[in-house]
Chain A
Amino acid sequence: QSALTQPASVSGSPGQSISISCTGTSSDIGNYKYVSWYQQHPGKAPKLMIYDVSDRPSGVSNRFSGSKSGNTASLTISGLQTEDEADYYCSSYTTSSTIVFGTGTEVTVL
């Protein structure tokens, strides 16, 4: 099972909106609504930001939103803030009955 494909880096200025793509196949993203997004700051454990494509856990800012079209999922961060600078990973359930993560995207706030 190959990792989902994400851009290595995305950047934006404070207040802007950015989107991170996550491309899979019909064996994962294209076949299920079980796409999640995680934020990871250096030296910290990942934090769940989005699950089931577009649901936000309690306590996660509504500046974070998720969507999916075909084999590609996206995470959008609106009103970019300095504390959003982190690595972001997508994940999806797969037809192999396991979960696969994306390659990871480093978000930089300029």
Chain B
Amino acid sequence: EVQLVQSGAEVKKPGESLKISCKGSEYSFANHWIGWVRQMPGKGLEYMGVIYPDDSDTRYSPSFQGQITISADKSIHTAYLRWSSLKASDSAIYYCARHVNPTMRKNGMDVWGQGTTVTVSS
């Protein structure tokens, strides 16, 4: 079964760093763009950015540029989302998702991780 499995829930303090992961299986991980999506409590979906694991080509949405770092290690079929200094407003569910067509990042996302809940509180 094609799937993305994300790392577990995190509870952190403001100012701390965090890196969450997203591991793909049963498909050519290197050749599908992986996007990251934020969902704040009770709110809608926000596209944060995307990475092509084969060459780590990365694009960020303007609202998230400079706030996060997206990376990937194709050898272990894993993408990452990292914060260097968390804020309370980073509390949300974060999803990774695979773009449906190989090599394309413009269209829909057909395989989603289960989500990682990040709670930032002093």
Contacts and interface: CB of A to CB of B under 8 A. Distances in A.
Interface of A: 1, 3, 32, 34, 36, 38, 40, 45-48, 50-52, 57, 89, 91, 93, 96-104
Contacts, number: 72
A93 B106 contact: yes
Most chain-B CB neighbours within 10 Å: which of A32, A36, A99? A99
Contacts of A47: 112
Nearest to B63: A1
Main SS at interface, chain B: strand
Contacts of A38: 45, 108
A89 B47 contact: no
A107 B104 CA distance: 30
Pick from B35, B37, B113 the residue with the most CB of A within 10 Å: B37
Interface string B20-40: 000000000000000101000
Contacts of B95: 45-46
B112 A99 contact: no
B45 A93 contact: no
Contacts of B49: 98
Given A91-B47, A96-B61, 12 more contacts: A36-B107, A45-B95, A45-B113, A45-B115, A47-B112, A51-B107, A52-B108, A93-B107, A98-B50, A98-B59, A101-B37, A101-B46
A48 B100 contact: yes
B105 to A, nearest CB: 8
Q: Which 5 pairs across A and B sit closest by C-beta, in order of nearness?
A: A51-B108, A36-B108, A45-B112, A93-B106, A104-B44
B110 interface: yes
A100 B61 CA distance: 9
B62 interface: yes
